[in-house]
Structure 1
Amino acid sequence: MSTPQEPEGPVFAAPTPTGAVPDLAHVELPPVRPDGGTAPGGAGPGSAFAHGVGAPGTTPAWTGTLPPPHDPAVEAARRRTARRRVLLVVGGVLALALLVTGTVLGAGHLRDRAWAPVASAPDTPVRAHAVQLVLGSCIDELPEGSDPLGLVRVVPCTEEHQAQVVGRRDAVPAAVWPGTEALAARAAAVCGPQMLGSEPPAGLEFVVVTPSEAGWEAGDRASLCLAVTPGGTSGSLLD
């Protein structure tokens, strides 16, 4: 929204028709009383009306382009212009604020969607971030080696998969970053065969997944315990 261009010069009301301005040196003014006033019938204190310009009890007529002081029409026009200018400026600020607010809310909405928990037993495979995984989520395949766990494919546990979330621990939102090792130690304390409802199958491994420092700063507080079957398996370990 743009602010209207300011006029190049002052804006005045249209002048009254030019009259003959008398020579004030030859104008007879009412006598001044000792108390500073004027004789009865004269103009008020400090004022005088020249013949041909105005008389007591009338609106002074001015020659030239200067507006009469306190002219109601001119003052009203100025106030309307000022109000329009203020409204336009405020409107521009409001539009900017709405744009910024919309951007912030839009970013928050996108983050909420990216962090929304997935169904623990989806009917069809879905792509999800680690923070979206819940107890029971079965993961099609894990990254090689120590690569970070980014987007993974969550599948129904009846399908073949490599890992399953058998434990999840969330720190409180106000918690400070404890460091990578301390965070992993806390998660490992609740990650192992005790998380399963039955005797673990041979060859089962347990892996702890914790937020990175950047993820923690972004609000991720979820630490995961994964039961990993390197050769793949089907079915849920939590049944």
Structure 2
Amino acid sequence: MNHQDIPPKPASPPRTGGMPQIQGGAGPAPAPESVTWSQPRHDPAPEKRANRKPALWKAVLVVVVLAVAGSLVWLAVWLNSSPGTNAAKKDAQGVLQTTVTPPATPQPLPREGVAPAEYAVGDCFKDFDPQALTSTMVPCDTGHSAQLVATLQYPDNTEYPGAEPLKAKALEVCQAAKLGPAAKQFQLNYQRSFPSSTSWESGDRRVDCYVTADTGNVINASVLP
């Protein structure tokens, strides 16, 4: 047999394991103790995973901060909008007063010629006329015909609301008045007083509510609590 007719054995296929070959040798060379690669290996996956956790924590922290800030804002709004417990409280258009505060009858009484601008909640008046320019103020434990039981003071920069709105507001003021047990001893009526357009231009901003007796100076005690 002509050995030249026998095709030579094919060359061994390339190895994929990365083990170097020795040319002309009968088999693979022993594995080296260490291998130096021509380019450094890069594995981006671990780096991406490492960066993902801080980003996630930052997002959670932002959400928590926003939630806390929103809760504080809501709480502040709720507290500011809650009704107060003080007898003098701010109305949408003024300050309502329903309890005795100085200078209610502190000066020596009786006192004649007192102007309405000097009236205070708790003051008592003899022969009271709400249209009069002055009144006679007396101690509430002596005979009188009227007592101022509630007021509402509009801000100075408020425009004149008109007669009908002021009349309605005066009714609200009387409805807010708080009377004590002594009020049951007398036949009383509510009487409202509010500024005219002329007095408003002069600086009058107060709406008053009185309790009055139609039969004269028959009240001899304060009707407030």
* TM-score normalised per structure 1: 0.46
The structure that has the greater radius of gyration is 2
**Larger relative contact order (Cα-Cα within 8 Å, sequence gap ≥ 6):** 2
* TM-score normalised per structure 2: 0.49
